């Protein structure tokens, strides 16, 4: 089940087209996939605007025209990278959460997985965050693809909050936009303070912030608490 | 009174050096100030990495070598821009808040002014936010100057929280790092959702988020609420 309620990811187009194609077409798709993966690596380091056909050719040991043949333009390459990151995000954050029961356990897992992705990505930034800064005042198809991906994910968060209300884990009068906004804030502060300011205690602050949200909106007593990442995967020392 | 407790802004160096200089020196400083102001305009649109001596020369109608004479390097130019933005931030956000009484009124004014700067800057991004993304994995003097400015401001926020505890407006056991982290999250979510996602309701969500923080940590009854920006300066419609 993808993040979006429709049957495919919003920015993921292309590969499906040639699913039943000839061997040559399949090889072309494989090569394209290799390039997109290398491009995603590059984009998480340099940003989407740091992508260039030249750097990718060097990285994949292909000719510039070879790389260019798979992407009509730099914009098309950037949009493919956004689709690839969305699929990666879905796999790391959303799919494992679906194994948790509906309601607060699932919402908690989504938040916990999201925090882990953001805090552990010391080598690889989140292009949903860096891309927002790069493209906030640059209209066009790349910005649209990025905003579309982020909105799809935030809508999934909103649905998880609504389900937690339906399950009686959160108060019926909790505003899902407000809850999702406050969670989004914790994620962005974690990304900022862990990655840029290098605060080792940022993950614990974000976790406590989420527990505050659960306490505020939770039915009484709160049905679940976020199990500290700190004790599981991330080493955290006091700020 | 500057944001920092020492007598000068952390990244503001240079201009003071020639305070008593000759007329020629003063003219040099004026020209430098004009260039820095133009550079700040450019950086809020294109990011600190978008700055170039060439673009600035065009903008200020000077020769490249003329611009270059005032800044030994692009890095020095970027650091001057950070100092200029810090001074601007201090003037817009911190100084007006100092006119409010110590404690929650002053903390509320700092947050309110910060939100206004972030939400109304539809044409001009906050380089404390965009710069963090640009420089999070690029060590060097520009990153250090930027982190230094942000840390100085976050320390001022921490002090305001401590004062609010001293005044009995916030509970004595409130953790100032936690409070400042949660406020920082609201600001970052506001910047993201208002600027990138173009949600007109983002300011109201951020204000409500701050009121939740005050309610959580406040002495009972809470001493103040953030007067909605929406009714004062920012036009807000429901999300």
Q: At what angle do helices B176-190 and A176-190 cross, to 10 degrees?
A: 110
Interacting residues of B98 by C-beta distance below 8 A, sequence separation 6+: B1, B106
Output the pLDDT for position A2: 61
**Cβ-defined contact of B123 to A135 (cutoff 8 Å):** no
Cα distances from B174 to residues A8, A45, B170, B197, B204, in angstroms, run: 45, 37, 7, 33, 25
Mean pLDDT of B5-14: 43
The average confidence (pLDDT) of chain A is 84
Distance CA B199, CA B185 (A): 17
Of the candidate ranges A55-59, A217-221, B183-187, the one whose mean pLDDT is the lowest: A217-221
Whether B205 is covered by a domain: the verdict is: yes
- B233 in contact with chain A, both atoms CB, cutoff 8 A: no
Whether A51 is covered by a domain: the verdict is: yes
Output the pLDDT for position A84: 94
Query: Predicted ipTM?
Result: 0.84
CATH of the domain at A172: 1.10.357.10
Q: Which residue has the higher pLDDT, A78 or A125?
A: A78
**Cβ-defined contact of B184 to A202 (cutoff 8 Å):** no
Whether B228 is covered by a domain: the verdict is: no
Whether A237 is covered by a domain: the verdict is: no
Cα distances from A69 to residues A36, A65, A72, A119, in angstroms, run: 13, 6, 7, 36
Structure tokens at B132: 């963090």
Distance CA B190, CA B115 (A): 8
Whether A4 is covered by a domain: the verdict is: no
Distance CA B98, CA B199 (A): 31
Mean pLDDT of B172-198: 96
Pair B77, B71: CB distance under 8 Å: yes
pLDDT band with cut points at 50, 70 and 90 for residue A172: very high
Output the pLDDT for position A234: 34
Distance CA B76, CA A190 (A): 29
Output the pLDDT for position A50: 86
Q: Which residue has the higher pLDDT, B43 or B123?
A: B43
Distance CA A27, CA B231 (A): 60
| pLDDT tens figures, A190-225 | 999 999 999 999 999 999 999 999 999 988 654 455
| pLDDT tens figures, B19-38 | 455 677 788 888 899 999 99
**Cβ-defined contact of A47 to B196 (cutoff 8 Å):** no
- Res A95 pLDDT > 60: yes
Whether B154 is covered by a domain: the verdict is: yes
Output the pLDDT for position A13: 41
- A197 in contact with chain B, both atoms CB, cutoff 8 A: yes
Of the candidate ranges A80-84, A123-127, A172-176, the one whose mean pLDDT is the lowest: A123-127
Interacting residues of B146 by C-beta distance below 8 A, sequence separation 6+: B48, B82, B127, B128, B131, B132, B135
Rounded to a whole number, what is the distance in angstroms from the first to the last CA of chain A?
Answer: 39
Output the pLDDT for position A6: 43
**Cβ count within 10 A of residue A53:** 20
Output the pLDDT for position B222: 46
Per CB-CB distance under 8 Å, the chain B contacts of A177 are: 201, 205, 239
| pLDDT tens figures, A106-155 | 999 999 999 999 987 655 678 899 999 889 888 999 999 999 999 999 99
pTM of the model: 0.84
Whether B158 is covered by a domain: the verdict is: yes
What's the total number of domains in chain B?
Answer: 1
Give the chain A residue whose CA is nearest to the CA of B126: A133
- Domain span at B70: 15-222
Residues in a beta bridge with B170? B218
- Res A159 pLDDT > 80: yes
- Res B39 pLDDT > 80: yes
Output the pLDDT for position B71: 87
Of the candidate ranges A42-56, B83-97, B99-113, B198-212, the one whose mean pLDDT is the lowest: A42-56
Q: Hey, which residues 26-85 in chain A have their CB within 8 Å of chain B?
A: 45, 47
Whether B236 is covered by a domain: the verdict is: no
- Res B166 pLDDT > 50: yes
Distance CA B100, CA B116 (A): 17
Which of B188, B197, B212 lies at the smallest CB-CB distance from A216?
B212
């Amino acid at each position: 089940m993808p993040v979006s309620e429709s049957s495919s990811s919003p920015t993921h187009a292309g590969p499906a087209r040639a699913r039943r194609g000839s061997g040559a077409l399949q090889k072309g798709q494989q090569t394209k996939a290799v390039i997109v993966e290398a491009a995603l690596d590059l984009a998480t380091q340099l940003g989407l605007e740091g992508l260039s056909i030249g750097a990718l050719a060097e990285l994949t040991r292909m000719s510039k025209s070879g790389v260019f043949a798979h992407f009509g333009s730099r914009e098309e390459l950037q949009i493919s990278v956004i689709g690839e990151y969305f699929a990666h995000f879905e796999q790391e954050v959303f799919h494992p959460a679906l194994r948790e029961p509906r309601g607060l356990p699932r919402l908690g897992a989504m938040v916990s997985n999201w925090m882990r992705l953001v805090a552990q990505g010391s080598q690889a930034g989140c292009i949903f965050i860096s891309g927002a800064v790069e493209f906030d005042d640059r209209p066009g198809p790349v910005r649209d693809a990025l905003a579309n991906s982020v909105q799809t994910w935030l809508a999934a968060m909103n649905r998880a909050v609504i389900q937690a209300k339906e399950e009686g884990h959160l108060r019926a009068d909790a505003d899902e936009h407000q809850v999702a906004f406050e969670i989004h804030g914790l994620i962005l502060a974690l990304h900022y303070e862990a990655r840029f300011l290098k605060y080792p205690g940022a993950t614990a602050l974000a976790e406590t912030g989420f527990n505050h949200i659960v306490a505020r909106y939770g039915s009484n007593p709160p049905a679940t608490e976020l199990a500290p990442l700190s004790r599981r995967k991330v080493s955290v020392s006091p700020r």
